[in-house]
Amino acid sequence: MPQLPTPYYLIDETSLKKNLEIIREVREKTGAKSVLALKCFSTWCVFDLMRQYLDGTTSSSLFEARLGREKFGKEVHAYSVAYSSQEIEAVSLIADKVIFNSVSQLNLFHDRVQGLNVGLRVNPGISYSHYDLADPARRYSRLGVTGDRELSAAANLINGLMFHFNCENDDVENLALTMAQIGVKYSSLLRKMEWVSLGGGISFTKEGYPLERFCHLLKEFSERYDVQLYLEPGEAAISGSTQLVTTVLDLVHNEVDIAIVDASVEAHLLDHLIYRTNPGLASPGPGTHKVMVAGRSCLAGDIFGSYELERELKVGNEVRIADTAGYTMVKKNWFNGVPMPSIAVRRLDGRVETVRSFGYEDYLSSLS
């Protein structure tokens, strides 16, 4: 491939397609539809490929819903933790399904979404998450309805329910247990619904995941309650498809060797900073040379991680950060005025296309 100026995100459509084929297999075996969670990945330069495998998009805001309608098409599921009056007016013109987070919002805006398929988010009080910050059922959670009486009173106003209760859940037996608990607790309500979304956060495209067991769970649930099931894959759709390609700008030593690259954790991989995790490296490969890889912003903790690599890093060397599609490009920012990574795509035919570059004018226009 031609040498592209770093930093840039490189999306590989062949890797992306592997996830998408698993999603299609689940649909074929279970009837469960999948809508892309735009909060995780909104890079629409690969939507032409993704729409061949997915049934639409699901959003967390008006802008995401509009993006889904304009750039993806197919089904548009519009959810928001809270809509304003102006937003619900706009959403009602572009969405196929409008999902409310509370009964109070449902009652307030129900007349404004007449003729649309209306849903309500439910907090079942159980969840799977490695991080309290991302736990949908954490104490005092505002995400979804918890009261049984409220739900019963609202049943005649809605067509479906959304249970988003997972985050990076790769434990199919845990999922089986929680689905069974939801079935028992909400049995009578489920039987009144046309559709049920199980949300996202289920790592069913992960290598080695027991897909047959997963498909059995979905099909059994769907048939038992006679509902159309939806999944909302975010990470599951794009995991392993993208790298952040960087170049070493400087090497310093302070007890350890530190390589400073032309990207930033805070600006370009913010979730790792928030959750205090470290990304893996796609290259150089593993070895015995110890080095800390750091970002170029002035934040002291702008650190990608400490690694043992196959060779010593030198100024000008390329460092590729692995698995950088989810919650990265949707969160990138202009902290420190650090140059924004371009977005490039390796298409299925091997051709690499730079689809977007950013410069000073983009930085300038993001401010006032």
Per-residue pLDDT tens digits for 109-141: 999 998 899 999 999 999 999 999 999 999 999
Instruction: Tell whether pTM > 0.85.
Output: yes
Q: Which of 254, 255, 316, 317 is nearest to 281 (CA)?
A: 317
Per-residue pLDDT tens digits for 182-226: 999 999 999 999 999 999 999 999 999 999 999 999 999 999 999
Hey, how many other C-beta atoms are within 10 angstroms of the C-beta on 252?
A: 11
pLDDT score recorded for residue 227: 98
pLDDT at 2 over 60: no
Query: Strand pairing of 97-100 and 75-79?
Result: parallel
Q: How far is 105 from 362, CA to CA, in rounded Å?
A: 36
pLDDT mean over 27-55: 98
pLDDT score recorded for residue 88: 97
**Residue 150 pLDDT class (50, 70, 90 cuts):** very high
pLDDT mean over 72-96: 97
For the chain, give the percent of residues with pLDDT over 70.
Answer: 99
CB 201 within 8 Å of CB 195? no
Amino acid at residue number 66: R
CB 235 within 8 Å of CB 168? yes
pLDDT score recorded for residue 3: 82
Give me the domains of the chain, ranges plus CATH numbers: 14-238 (3.20.20.10), 240-365 (2.40.37.10)
SS3 content of the chain, % helix, strand, coil (to 5): 35, 25, 40
